[in-house]
A and B are shown apart, each in its own frame.
Chain A
């Protein structure tokens, strides 16, 4: 706490317009009490932007502020500026549902709906645009292929999704998000409920997905951050509210952390 920490955001060379997501002075309050403050960062196209930090520092809240899922939680108030391709997302004129269609999300626990695998893949897509028979099948196949689940479920698309393993369910959730064609995918500790094999599958997917999309990944797992992220922001608690205490390219953060909290966190992290 004694030494001043650098909170340098992205280098200035990354011009504002090129960033997919740009966050300035974001703060989130729960019933007036700050959960997050002074959060600023930029996410570049085709980047895996990692967010690490201790539990309870507000990483999940930060993620939910990026697609306005915070709107659903009573008592939460968000201030500051979040821009998707330089369009402010917190303006009154913004169509929140369309925004969430452009920014997909994967949760800590896979949430599959009590329906068939096929229905789950189409759950969002078929309601956001009209899909006809053959287009549906193509979409189901392409989304499941992109989520590396096609080969395991191609023979039982009509079977209940609840019968899948947790790892498969998480990939199904990813396929469901991909079917909506989001530009950005937010992932909230997507592998924390999974076994090592499924975790590896998801990590390989992240690396494949970033070719076409941009990913913001909250993770608890430093090894995972090392394997898949390009840029890392560390969120730590200061005076009861989460702040980004260090933000740099992930090799730099992991090999040569500057900030006392990050050094402590990395030393104790799994």
Chain B
């Protein structure tokens, strides 16, 4: 009886894992199969023509990279500051828990809320209009919890003996942060940022009315009213609004490029993540 139930549970768990893996493989397969024919050198180097039915995605790729770069630059200092506040400056557990709750809540916010927030505050109130900077800020906010939590975990994994040894030498708190904590937490910042960026890269809701348009933008010419083209929005518009069959292949091509971009970001983060687990086991 016990053997049977054991076998059943193993079988069900195995089946679930198989279904999950199958969906992932199937999804990648479909995107790859339909997207590969569209890929060519010119697909990456040309701009959109004929409302997406011809040409390439050069400016969309550039725009997405600009947004990710801005998001990283804006997010990293905020995440470092928050993580240090949580680990070093907050001494009461209640305050720490409150900060963590805020972070997890922020992480759970639907991305459209970030979009609305960015639209109302930056696009309208601040009068920036649709701008790559607003997109960077909004994406930075949406990935802030991921990066901060990764940093906090890395800071936690630093043995207390290091802090004690540095303090025993007479270093003050700021010196301990610079000399001991930050050098060892650097990996957490990189890992967290890459994972956050991997998610941010595919976000459509936060950017669609804050920073991106469908066609006609190239390099940002300033900060105000300076939108960019992006991959997710490109896919969104083509998938939703085009009946042109020629668009189909280009659409899948763009989807494949986005998928590979996200996959690469996660892949680069992998060694650092594995290392983090090793250290946590010590």
Contact B184 A123 (CB under 8 A): no
Shortest Cβ distance from residue A112 to the other chain B in the assembled complex, whole angstroms: 9
Q: Which residue of A lies closest to B172 (CB)?
A: A97
Contact B167 A100 (CB under 8 A): yes
A223 at the binding interface (Cβ < 8 Å): no
Of B9-17, B117-125, B157-165, B256-264, which binds chain A?
B157-165
Contact B170 A100 (CB under 8 A): yes
Q: How far, in whole Å, are A123 and B183 apart by their CA atoms in the complex?
A: 13
Residues of chain A lying within 8 A (CB to CB) of residue B23: none
Of A66-74, A200-208, A245-253, which binds chain B?
A66-74
Q: Which one, A101, A109, A123, A127, contacts B161 given CB within 8 A?
A: A109
How big is the A interface, by class? 20 to 34
Contact B170 A101 (CB under 8 A): yes
Shortest Cβ distance from residue A78 to the other chain B in the assembled complex, whole angstroms: 16
Q: Which one, A74, A109, A114, A180, contacts B169 given CB within 8 A?
A: A180
Interface residues in B, total, Cβ within 8 A: 19
Q: In the complex, which of the residues B167, B169, B172, B180 has the most CB atoms of chain A within 10 Å of its own CB atom?
A: B169
Q: How far, in whole Å, are A99 and B169 apart by their CA atoms in the complex?
A: 9
Residues of chain B lying within 8 A (CB to CB) of residue A97: 167, 170-172
Shortest Cβ distance from residue A102 to the other chain B in the assembled complex, whole angstroms: 8
Residues of chain A lying within 8 A (CB to CB) of residue B167: 69, 72, 97, 100
Contact B168 A100 (CB under 8 A): yes
Shortest Cβ distance from residue A225 to the other chain B in the assembled complex, whole angstroms: 23
Q: How far, in whole Å, are A67 and B179 apart by their CA atoms in the complex?
A: 21
A90 at the binding interface (Cβ < 8 Å): no
Contact A105 B168 (CB under 8 A): yes
B residues 88-110 near A (Cβ < 8 Å) are 91
What 0/1 readout, one digit per residue, does chain B (137-178) give for beta carbons within 8 Å of chain A?
Answer: 000000000000000000000010111111111111001000
**Given A127-B175, A127-B179: A100 and B169 within 8 A (CB)?**
yes
Shortest Cβ distance from residue A208 to the other chain B in the assembled complex, whole angstroms: 21
Shortest Cβ distance from residue A71 to the other chain B in the assembled complex, whole angstroms: 8
Q: Which residue of A lies closest to B91 (CB)?
A: A74
What 0/1 readout, one digit per residue, does chain A (55-80) give for beta carbons within 8 Å of chain B?
Answer: 00000000000010100101000000
Q: How far, in whole Å, are A67 and B180 apart by their CA atoms in the complex?
A: 20
Residues of chain B lying within 8 A (CB to CB) of residue A104: 168-169
Interface residues of B (CB under 8 A from A): 91, 159, 161-172, 175, 179-180, 183-184
Some 9 contacts from A to B, beta carbons below 8 A apart, are A69-B168, A100-B167, A111-B159, A113-B179, A123-B179, A124-B170, A124-B171, A127-B175, A128-B169
Top 5 A-B pairs, shortest CB-CB distance: A124-B169, A101-B170, A111-B165, A105-B168, A100-B170
User: Knowing that A100-B167, A107-B164 are A-B contacts, what are 20 other residue pairs whose CB atoms are under 8 Å apart, sorted by A's residue number?
Assistant: A69-B167, A69-B168, A72-B163, A72-B167, A97-B171, A98-B170, A100-B168, A104-B169, A107-B165, A107-B168, A109-B161, A111-B159, A111-B162, A113-B165, A123-B166, A124-B171, A176-B169, A177-B168, A177-B169, A180-B170
